[in-house]
Structure 1
């Protein structure tokens, strides 16, 4: 019973944040208005509910992606935005926009996911040729690769007059999420379910190739499956809401610090914590200059950068000891 109380309290806290997200916005909607005003109810169902659901699914996707990548690469500093995966997804969407601007969302998500997978494989290939004297080198390599791909994307966008589209798409905000445009992100729920079922395999893969192979795990197949699922989640999330920096870095590390490295046991807490963090950052962005709005990626980037620096200094302190 003692173990259930913290989980129940955490769920209640997240539900309270979800309710706050549903009730905060430029259009004044309260509970009595939902019961008596058809216009308010319609606005609530068209805008508020899709936005909050997108927040929940995007948070789950990016945090779980970060957790799986950290296990597969055996490094706590990696997640889609520190390995170049998100930048590759952006390049894929930009090239598709140039070649087929009328492509439906599912095609855009597929292309973004394929480019994200290619970026993840390229990151691992480069990582295998770099002498790693510190865990901090891994995200630095990823950030450098992402910077190169991002520069290419920026150059192509500038030459094709798509800079404004690229900036808007990469802003990582939920203000444009409405009913009819966010539904594909529901696929993330299926990805999280698959990751939960295969969590033990990813835990074994995190022990290293030799150990995992000795225990009978098909290491390469597990690695590719994990990267494919992470790339799919990253591609879908990037197309629907843009980039969410450091989300896959903050929560998985905090959970692992408290509960260890068992992926299956941590998934529930990682999803719960990431949803809470993203909603809090979103509420801050919506309330600071109300009724205007700061993209959640800006608030999340500030928090994530601070945590990343703190983790780097902590790792450096351990290395010196």
Structure 2
């Protein structure tokens, strides 16, 4: 149940648990999409050749490219969906996620600053710099929210989009001045076409942080009920908020460093899951992760099937599909509150 402001609420009827068959359905769909993702590509590949043991090139292609790309898609989708759920619980608004709060744009600015000041920094250093900038941008977003009267839940993502636009404009200005617009485009448009073995392993960090969020799911469920309620239960709301924002910032940074920006994912998937499972994070996190991975895989497969052997970047596909679902979500919420 949500409050009139769009925030997760502590009350309301407990939603009915789905049957076991319904819970297994997303898992089966994920396996099917993973198999399709592995089989697609410009190179010659067939499962029959692998089973016969006569196609050594197919094994090399599978291990070096197809499996790493599919794993990268799964890890990015799962971790970003969980990051969106955490941010929605902490901000207490259903329309917030890293790409609507200035977090992703701030991470991109951090990468650009490091590329200008210390271009030889290894990838892990870029990730740490992007995390620091993403954390600062998210805290700035929260600071603005505290000073703006919010008469509508839709003002929250609007403020985040405006802040993200300002940060992106600053980033574009400096990238243009230093002839780095092409690199900036690569960071702001999600694309997994260049993912190979040895170039996606940072995403396991994001997956580990998503697992850490699951271990603390009960605490974040309480934090989503407000500072006073959390304090009355003996929990440190400020510490929970900072730790949650650090997890969100690190996940967003890892994905941006590895593959670029994937918008709206952390907004659509948690809202879809909450319609069935409610606001209990302990129950929701596994299914948010499962559907997040499936959604990213489905969009990637769609982008590769539109005009083969060329492909549409997944950031573009997710942006189109996600924005349409976002509009449907807003219209549905407005209709429910009418």
2:301 matches 1:283? yes
Aligned position for 1:141: 159
SS in 2 for 1:25: coil
Aligned position for 1:301: 319
Q: 1:313 deviation in Å?
A: 2.4
Distance in 1 separating the partners of 2:84 and 2:90: 10
Q: Aligned ranges for residues 65-144 of structure 1 at < 5 Å?
A: 65-144=83-162
Equivalences, count: 320
Q: 1:8 deviation in Å?
A: 2.3
Q: Aligned ranges for residues 159-238 of structure 1 at < 5 Å?
A: 159-238=177-256
2:36 matches 1:14? no
Aligned position for 2:12: none
Runs of 4+ in 1 over 6 A off after TM superposition: none
Q: 1:318 deviation in Å?
A: 4.2
Distance in 1 separating the partners of 2:210 and 2:244: 11
Counterparts in 2 of 1:312 and 1:9: CA distance versus 1, 3 Å = closer
Aligned alpha-carbon RMSD (Å): 1.3
Aligned position for 1:265: 283
SS in 1 for 2:99: coil
SS in 2 for 1:36: coil
TM-score when normalising by structure 2: 0.92
2:50 matches 1:30? no
Q: 1:193 deviation in Å?
A: 1.4
2:267 matches 1:252? no
Unaligned runs of 5+ in 1: none
Q: 1:2 deviation in Å?
A: 7.7
